[in-house]
């Protein structure tokens, strides 16, 4: 995905309905940097999606991505009238895997009741804008093959298969 998002609007999901009229929720949401007081909500949203409450993990992510004001690191939340309904995390990485500096999105989550209202799109727009300000023109992410929801979302935003492939092996022998 580059500075323009050619795929926006393409591939609308079939067989599902928007929870409310398009744009209502997204328009009511402010995207802003995370604050320490948001952590309980973030832990709860993540636990809803993953089934695990990872308090120490989220505290360390906060320290790494929010508490230190390092350029290129982003931890943003979608705030709907004082209630956090989603978040996105990422950073600019230089020359990893031999690639010129680019933005990586590590996590994006919208609480189930707030989905299909454009909040995920607002969050991705905001982190892409921050990456552009940091000087990069490319954003990448990684996702689980069987997570068709997140794949549909990223495809709708214009993201496509990139030039890298993930490899892995067991190292317990």
Ligand X SMILES: CC(C)(COP(=O)(O)OP(=O)(O)OC[C@H]1O[C@@H](n2cnc3c(N)ncnc32)[C@H](O)[C@@H]1OP(=O)(O)O)[C@@H](O)C(=O)NCCC(=O)NCCS
Residues 6+ apart with CB under 8 A from 28: 80, 81
Nearer of residues 123 and 172 to ligand X, judged by Cβ: 123
CB of 92 to ligand X, least distance (A): 18
Total chain residues near ligand X (CB under 6 A): 22
Identify which of 50, 49, 120 has the alpha carbon closest to the alpha carbon of residue 87: 120
Of 84, 109, 130, 136, which lies in the binding site for ligand X, with binding defined by CB under 6 A?
109
Binding-site member from 75, 92, 153, 159 for ligand X (CB under 6 A): 153
Does 120 help bind ligand X (rule: CB under 6 A)?
yes
Among 61, 66, 77, 156, binds ligand X (CB under 6 A): 156
Residues 6+ apart with CB under 8 A from 87: 34, 38, 42, 45, 75, 76, 77, 78, 107, 108, 109, 123
DSSP 11-32: TPPSS---SSSTTHHHHHEEEE
* Site map (CB under 6 A) of ligand X, residues 133-152, x = contact: --------------x-xx-x
Question: Is 103 an interacting residue with respect to ligand X (CB under 6 A)?
Answer: no
Select the residue interacting with ligand X from 16, 20, 36, 55 (CB under 6 A). Answer: 16
On whether the CB atoms of residues 137 and 100 are closer than 8 A, the answer is no
Q: Which residues make up the interface to ligand X (CB under 6 A)?
A: 11-13, 16, 49, 107-110, 115-121, 147, 149-150, 152-153, 156
């Amino acid at each position: 995905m580059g500075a323009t998002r050619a795929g926006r609007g393409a591939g609308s999901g079939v067989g599902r309905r928007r929870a409310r009229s398009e744009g209502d929720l997204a328009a009511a949401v402010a995207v802003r940097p995370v604050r320490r007081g948001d952590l309980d909500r973030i832990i709860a949203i993540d636990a809803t999606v993953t089934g695990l409450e990872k308090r120490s993990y989220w505290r360390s992510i906060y320290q790494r991505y929010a508490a230190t004001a390092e350029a290129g690191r982003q931890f943003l939340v979608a705030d709907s009238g004082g209630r956090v309904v989603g978040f996105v995390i990422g950073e600019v990485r230089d020359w990893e895997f031999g690639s010129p500096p680019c933005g990586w999105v590590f996590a994006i989550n919208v609480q189930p009741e707030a989905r299909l209202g454009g909040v995920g799109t607002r969050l991705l727009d905001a982190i892409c804008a921050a990456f552009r300000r940091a000087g990069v023109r490319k954003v990448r992410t990684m996702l689980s093959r069987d997570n068709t929801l997140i794949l549909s979302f990223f495809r709708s935003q214009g993201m496509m298969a990139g030039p890298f492939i993930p490899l892995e092996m067991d190292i317990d022998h």
